Amino acid sequence: MELITSEVLTDRIRTYLQHQASLKELVEWAENAMMDGTFEETENYALRDITGRLGVADVKAFRLSEDDFEQFLSQLEHTGRKENGNVATANGLLKWDILQIAEALKIPQDDVRDYFTDGRRVPFLLERRIAYEILNGSLASSEGAGYDVLDSDGRKWEVRSVSRGGIYFCPSYMVGSGRHFEEDGFLQKLDEIAGYIVSDIQCFPSVPYWQIPADTVRAWWSQGQLGKSSKISRAKALSLLRSL
């Protein structure tokens, strides 16, 4: 059985676009590929990862409109759910235009992608878009507030990212050189917040996000799904997201 990875999908889609294939032909190929093959475990939900690999600029270069490309991605995603039953359905997407960002900042598009897929840097921007666009709320009063954003009802949320290195759910003060995990502090954190808003930044520029109640994370911890310190790999994180 053929192994269908996001890289394979991207390469084939890029080839089709270069030969001016129609949207119908692209979708027919994708449907056949998904019915005949299987997805790589570490990427098997992330059809949206194709967006991050091709980018809006490439789509324009291949003369396929953004609307057509979005339609194509939607059909891909629907087919993936139907045929595989293991696609993690996100609550929504945060979209950026790489070309516009690169032009505004006067830096290469590759540097834009590097920044937005860096889990140490991009949270500053994610927190603001999530607070204002998704929650209709506000940022925490300070970096030491114990949460990142407030929703319109005043509930507290933590903003976290799934990066190449995975994700952690414990308080930030427990992560880093010379720091250690404390279960009591982690469980107290879960008592104080409504939950987590988790974004898969590897799918930039179309970043899916999930709102995960604190009770769900507590259940994962009780079931031993979050390891010994609440830090898990990307593959494990995607597996848990598929279970929502």
Residue 161 bridge partners (DSSP): 199
β-bridge pairing 2-4 and 231-232:
unpaired
For the cut 70, the answer to whether the pLDDT of residue 25 exceeds it is no
Q: What is the pLDDT of residue 85?
A: 40
- Report pTM: 0.67
**Cβ-proximal residues to 91 (8 Å cutoff; 6+ apart), any chain:** 208, 209, 210, 211
**What digits encode the pLDDT tens for the residues 155-195?**
999 999 998 889 999 988 787 767 788 899 999 999 999 99
Query: CA 24 from chain center: how many Å?
Result: 27
Using omega within 30 degrees of 0 as the cis cutoff, is the peptide bond preceding 171 cis?
Answer: no
For the cut 90, the answer to whether the pLDDT of residue 126 exceeds it is yes
Q: Is the dihedral of CA 218, 224, 226, 228 positive or negative?
A: positive
SS3 196: strand
Tell me the mean pLDDT in the region 33-52.
47
Tell me the mean pLDDT in the region 22-49.
52
Tell me the mean pLDDT in the region 217-243.
90
Q: Is the dihedral of CA 185, 189, 191, 192 positive or negative?
A: positive
Say how many residues make up the chain: 244
Tell me the mean pLDDT in the region 138-145.
88
**Residue 166 near residue 232, CB atoms below 8 Å:** yes
Query: Domains in the chain, start-ordered, CATH in brackets?
Result: 2-82 (no CATH), 119-242 (3.40.210)
In the chain, the percentage of residues whose pLDDT exceeds 90 is 37
**What digits encode the pLDDT tens for the residues 47-72?**
555 555 555 555 555 555 656 665 56
**Residue 3 near residue 40, CB atoms below 8 Å:** yes
φ and ψ at 123, to 5 degrees? -55, -35
Q: What is the pLDDT of residue 41?
A: 37
**What digits encode the pLDDT tens for the residues 84-115?**
443 456 788 888 888 899 999 999 988 998 99
**What separation in angstroms does the CA of 207 have from each of 2, 25, 40, 167, 176?**
27, 26, 20, 15, 26
Better-scored residue on pLDDT, 198 or 48:
198
Better-scored residue on pLDDT, 20 or 219:
219
Mean pLDDT, rounded, of the chain = 77
